[in-house]
Structure 1
Amino acid sequence: MTDRTLPRPGNAMGTPPPARTPAHRPRLRPRIAAGVVAVLALLGVWATWDTFIRSAGGQRADQLALEGAARGQGVLWELAEPVLGVVSNSFVGLGLAVAVVLALTRGRWWLVAQVAILVVGSNLTTQVLKHVVLDRPALLDVARADINTLPSGHTTVAASVAAGLLIAVPRRWRPVVAVAGAAYTAATGVSTLIGQWHRPADVVAAVLVVLAWSAGVCALSSPSSLDAPRGGPEPGSSGAAGLLLLGTVGAGVLALGALGSVRGDGWGLPLGGDLTAYMGGMLGVVAVSLGSFALLLLVRQSTARP
């Protein structure tokens, strides 16, 4: 028997062994981008506190929004109270359990850890910042002026559960979950304003805390959290992100105009008073919520692509 007739390595029939495919690994650039988003979100928390808590003008605008919530509260509170009633320890546990089950059914063990770190880390950070790290100088002559309420705990709970679900669900469901999560987070944040539980800056800081943790865990993604190989990005992702960003720009421009009128700046809307601050605060909360989930959707899809 010559060398040409010898069976090829593999099995007795001469069938060649199957080719080995290289292991899928997370790409570096999306992880770096996710880390940048996390750092910028943390800086946003500090900037929110520095602008609206450490300055008299910022405290005045924030306080006017709180006082403006008294207008029409009876009707709006009927809608807001059930939203806030959902947020509880049981809600956190249920949301976390759903996200964990989704990750486990997909066989993604590191994804379970990511979701748990995100939810626990976000809520723990909010409590530490509120009660230990950040203070509130008494710059206004109002009741309880020196009690810090930033960031909002209720908003952190709602946003962290929504973000955890966004990270846990399969790729094709993320655009839908991102839009729904942004809407629910915004509704919870606005409801805390309606009930005069929080000022707008409290809610904005809470959403940014969750964005920082969400982008952070995406930056530390492992092969276990990657999607199956695909030919390209999910078609619905760009549309959902674009829709959220469009809402961010619209609400953000109006919110800045309302803030400018309250602060007396020349570029502000030709309005003023507590009602303007209240409406501007609600629009600001909506803008930050929509923008944060648009960024999170883009970060999650890019870091999950092998």
Structure 2
Amino acid sequence: MDGPVSVVGRWLTEAVPRGRIAAFRTLVYLFVAGDLVFFTPWVRTHASVPGELYQPLFVGRMLHLPTPTDLLVDGVFWTLLVLALLAATGRAPRLLGWSVCALYLYWMIIAMSYGKVDHDRFGLLVALAVLPTAGRARHGDPTRTEAGGWALRVTQIAVVCTYFLAAWAKLRFGGPEWMTGSVLARAIIRRGTDLADLIAQVPYLLIVAQFGIIAFELLSPVVFLLPERWRLAMVGFFYSFHAVTMATITISFAPHLVAMTAFLPLERVRPVVRLRRLARRRTGDDTPPDGAGSAEPGPTAEAAPVLPAGQAPAAGGRPVGP
């Protein structure tokens, strides 16, 4: 009988298709490139902020990182952008992966060392740290890999820790009064949408929502105890929670949502293959790729003779019957 250590070890390294790793890797690295351009381009403005306002995070102090300058910030930006796009192709997964991980971590240190620290990037940073260990993987490859399974499992744990530790922080610093206070009301006043204004008019609904948020975050580890079908349904609930958050108080949690795809069977989503099939249908060419499925006979093939009813072919090919 296996001991608990062996059971946990198998759970941590549960094999997954390499195609899932390839899809997850491409998605993560493309998001890093998009994050630089669309979500965090404001980080580049820190280069022109007075140096005395730079208060590096603990990791920045431990590594004795220099105060950001124009040359330093622009260098990190352009180098990281190019390397992330290259890493998304799946080539040199270890070299490019570790490089992107280090540079993106530095980008986040520059971003969060001026008084505000976001917790929605924890899962993404963990994904960047473990993806280089998954090795090579090709899209659509059904071969299973334990190394890739470990990378996805660690990312999943980081995603769930983001929820659970958020609830712990709320109760630690806000106490039980967090659930009965005006947290959501203040958020709606600051950055609420028209939908949020409608919801705020319903008596006690915001208080109920705050109790629900704490319950949801504390119970998030349950996702690991569910069978696959129900686990995917719970992950769908996670995504719906963030959709409502975005629709009401315009907080996207985009990096966290990307990391959460570690729960999904991404190998089933193959946009390039689907686009090729769509293109063939539009051009009227339904021939499968690589000649697969061809039913044309070879040059020596002979058509089978048509026999009268009741006759069967003999071993020599001549009909036998009454």
Give the TM-score normalised by the residue count of structure 1.
Answer: 0.31
Structure with a larger share of its residues in helix = 1
Bigger relative contact order, structure 1 or 2, given CA contacts below 8 A and separation 6+?
A: 1
Between structure 1 and structure 2, the one with the greater Rg is 2
